[in-house]
Structure 1
Amino acid sequence: MRARETQVEPSGMGRLLPWTTDEGRPCYLTSGSEGGIISKRADAMEAEQIHCGREVLTQSRGLLEGSRLGKVELRFVASRLVECLADTLRVAESRGIRLGVEDPRPDYDMEELADSEAEA
């Protein structure tokens, strides 16, 4: 997959892909590569992320409504919801870029928060 991926500054962005580099930086697909295999793989991954988010939301609602949860269970539910929300926001950002939303910048504060929580 790395062959056609590029890392560029937001001013010359291509399509924001739903994965990152090994260092955690965003990956972009050059605009001339739309419709190719990487683009289709990104489409499929985004669809799966949204589907997963819906499933986690449904299951979480059931857990929160149905019984008293302990700290461990609540932490698990919260961490899964956070993962799905991050994925969904990335899909929304990618689609916003492709629709021409002006000045689409990732929320670096949120990325730093996620990194600090992962370390904890």
Structure 2
Amino acid sequence: MSPTDTPRLLPWASPDGNQCFLVSDGTGYVSRLADEMEEAQLDSAAELLAEAHRILDARTWTPGEIHLLAVELTSSLADVHRVAESRGARLLVPDDAVRDGDEAPGGRDLSGQGSGLRLPAEAFG
């Protein structure tokens, strides 16, 4: 299985809130845009985490500040979770890491697809 066989979960949703996927070799414009957006989301999460530590360490917060922090952390966690799902689903593992009988969603048997690298069933999570 090659990376182009696995749809990439993109770091944004459609206008109606559905997940967006891309099938490509990872070198096109949309792939680069997705990489840049994922990097920005991870950078934002790191900055927010530092801010959360600062606010919580000060021990002088108001209920409104804690509520806003919780909202922002929840949003950031959702972004980071999506990045982790996307990247995890595209990880390649050696053939010997896939056990006989492992199945991906939709009933695809991962153990009998020939030689090469394959994704474990857990990657489709």
1:67 deviates by 3.0
Structure 1 residue aligned with 2:52: 60
Matched, 1:23 2:23: no
**Using a 3 Å threshold, how does the CA distance of structure 1 residues 84 and 101 change in structure 2: closer, same or farther?**
farther
Structure 1 residue aligned with 2:65: 73
Q: Which runs of 4+ in 1 moved over 4 A?
A: none
Give the TM-score, by structure 1 length: 0.72
Matched, 1:93 2:85: yes
Letter in 1 for 2:69: V
Higher helix fraction (1 or 2): 1
Corresponding residue SS for 1:35: coil
Letter in 1 for 2:19: P
- 1:17 and 1:29 in contact (8 A); partners too: yes
Relative to structure 2, which stretch is displaced further, 16-25 or 93-102? 93-102
1:62 deviates by 0.3
CA distance in 1, matches of 2:90, 2:69: 32
- 2:45 and 2:76 in contact (8 A); partners too: yes
CA distance in 2, matches of 1:13, 1:37: 18
Structure 2 residue aligned with 1:50: 42
Give the TM-score, by structure 2 length: 0.69
Larger Cα Rg: Structure 1 or Structure 2? 2
- 1:18 and 1:90 in contact (8 A); partners too: yes
1:53-98 per-position Cα deviation (integer Å, ceiling 9, x unaligned): 0000001100011132111110001111111111001000000111
1:31 deviates by 3.1
**Using a 3 Å threshold, how does the CA distance of structure 1 residues 75 and 101 change in structure 2: closer, same or farther?**
farther
Percentage of pairs with the same residue: 37
CA distance in 1, matches of 2:57, 2:120: 38
